[in-house]
Amino acid sequence: MKKFIGLVAIVLFTSVFSIFGYKYLAQNDSNNSQFIKTQAVSNDISADSLQGHLVNVAHSNEQNNLIGNELPDFRKVVKNTKSAVVHVRNTRFVQRFQPYYFGYRQGQVYKQEGTGSGVIISPDGYIVTNNHVIKDANELEVSLDNNKTYKASLVGTDPNTDVAVIKIDANNLPYLPFGNSDDVALGEWVLAIGNPYNIGTTVTSGIVSAKGRDLKGNKRIDNFIQTDAVVNPGNSGGALLDTRGELIGINTMIFSMNGSYIGYSFAIPSNIVKKVVDDILEYGSIQKGVLGIKGAELNGEIAKKLNIDQTEGVYVYEIEPNTGAAKSGLDVGDIIIKLDNIKVATMSDLMGYLKTKRPGDKIKVVALRDSNAKGFEVVLSKNEAAYLKKLGLSVKNVNKDVLKSYGVKNGVYIDRINNRLLFEYGVKPGYLITRINNTPITSVDDITNVLQSLENQRYLLEVVSPDGRVEKYIFQ
């Protein structure tokens, strides 16, 4: 009996010891697992993102802008920035022409209104918005966040980038500083502020989904920041902000099958916007820096045809003479992979960065030649020639002496003509294009921008022959 009781005691002691031992080991294992997970998370955080968190904390005097180190707290950013985003109302008067026997008679004048958003960028009333928000406006009105309204005037516009600058007569206004859109990272939290559907100032949030996005079928190379922040009609021209409250983009487009937000929104990067605004305010027109190459965006299919391994970058297939690229030593067959410190994986990357530069700017180009990286310093040149597909003409800039010989102060030279109608009317290479509608044409950039802004409208083309004869033609 004693032997049996002793055996039971040993079994009980062993069981209790096992239970306590299991709990102790389980607790230690849990602690170890937690430590391992923490280490794994830490290893996934790059030095750049850690630096970003430090910047965010440094810019927040009231509290850390991460709730539980997981989600951002946008309250302070919204409080400090909301009043710098405005509502823009575009009013235009349209007169319809009605059929009347063998002609037309003037019909009733209709009032059309459109709305959008804008961002105050200076305390004295300069506002940036989209060109399509203010296009063809007869009247512009701006409403501030405090419900004050002002008449606005158009300062300048660039249809190519869809950026416009307007101004109101006011001072000491809240405004937003431009951030550096090149530093924006995928996955970074962003805020969109605007006036969708004319319901009033609205704030949405999301992350950066992509950079350098080129929307096919948009008639030009684009370099959008793509986000999943909710943007709807009326948000155009509004602000895309980072967690520091800096302006990193102007919300411009959505990708949708039904006209409303379905998950994708696009903003013009702030570096492009700032350069366009500076050009409009300083020069009155857009200054475009030209690299001087013709290239093709690499992918797997093209790389296979070229028998190369590189599947990212821009393959140079032509160097334009007397340009910065020609003088720098860049050559056909080079693959451009960097401009300054910006990676070039697509043509959109290359064109987007060049949109932030002017003629005379120096940039460092890194290109692969025989699989070896080489650096080139290129001085960007002015855009001297263009092919106008809409008119079927090639044009180029001319100097003042040439203009004087034609007896005009401005114009671009028709170098080649593929337009059968104009050719039949007698317009030939050697003519100058001096005006479109009432807009003087001083450069190939001018004529490109004007034609792009007209889209499907009728316009009056004014040309001058070599003997000084002025001729006008209407195009639809």
Per-residue pLDDT reduced to its tens digit, 255-269 = 877 878 888 899 999
For 85-96, the pLDDT digits (tens) are 999 999 988 766
Q: Which architecture, in CATH terms, is 289-382?
A: Roll (2.30)
Q: For residue range 123-168, list pLDDT tens digits in order.
A: 999 999 999 999 888 999 999 999 999 999 999 988 889 999 999 9
For 465, the 3-state DSSP assignment is: coil
Q: Which among 83, 88, 112 is positioned nearest to 164, based on CA atoms?
A: 88
- The rounded percent of the chain whose pLDDT value lies above 90 is 55
Q: What is the mean pLDDT of residues 172-196?
A: 96
Tell me what the pLDDT averaged over the chain comes to. 82
Q: What pLDDT, on a 0 to 100 scale, did the predictor assign at position 424?
A: 84
> Is the pLDDT assigned to residue 22 strictly greater than 60?
no
- What was the pLDDT predicted at 214? 84
Report pLDDT for 29: 41
pLDDT of residue 262: 82
Catalytic residue among 132, 205, 328, 348: 132
Is 236 an active-site residue? yes
What are 370's two structure tokens?
């025989």
For Cα atoms 55, 56, 61, give the angle at the middle one, nearest 5 degrees. 105
- For the cut 60, the answer to whether the pLDDT of residue 186 exceeds it is yes
Q: Which CATH architecture has domain 74-286?
A: Beta Barrel (2.40)
Q: Does 145 participate in catalysis according to the annotation?
A: no
- Where in the chain is CATH 2.40.10.120? 74-286
Which among 117, 181, 209, 236 is annotated as catalytic?
Answer: 236
- CA 186/CA 36 separation, integer angstroms: 26
| 366 band by pLDDT with thresholds 50, 70 and 90 | very high
Catalytic site residue from 117, 143, 162, 348: 162
Contact 313, 342 (CB under 8 A): no
- 277-284 LR contacts (CB < 8 Å, sep 24+): 277/121, 277/126, 277/128, 277/163, 277/165, 279/158, 279/358, 280/155, 280/156, 280/157, 280/158, 280/165, 281/126, 281/155, 281/156, 281/165, 284/156
Task: Write down how long the chain is.
Answer: 476
pLDDT digits (tens, 9 = 90+) for 409-464: 899 999 999 888 888 888 889 999 999 988 889 888 888 878 877 766 788 889 99
Sequence-separated (6 or more) residues with CB below 8 Å from residue 362: 377, 378, 379, 380
Helices of type H across 45-118: 47-58, 75-81
The pLDDT score that the predictor gives to residue 88 is: 96
> CB count, 10 Å around CB of 285?
15
| DSSP secondary structure letter of residue 438 | T
132 included as an active-site residue: yes
Check pLDDT > 80 for residue 34.
Answer: no
**How confident is residue 221, by pLDDT bands cut at 50, 70 and 90?**
low
First to last CA, the chain: 115
- Mean pLDDT within 108-135: 92
pLDDT band at 81 (very low <50, low <70, confident <90, very high): very high
- pLDDT at res. 372: 94
Q: Which residue has the higher pLDDT, 53 or 112?
A: 112
- The segment(s) of the chain belonging to CATH 2.30.42.10 are 289-382, 385-475
CATH number of 385-475: 2.30.42.10
The answer to whether residue 105 scores a pLDDT higher than 60 is: no
* 32 vs 291 pLDDT, higher one: 291
- pLDDT, position 66: 52
What's the average model confidence in pLDDT over 2-28? Answer: 39
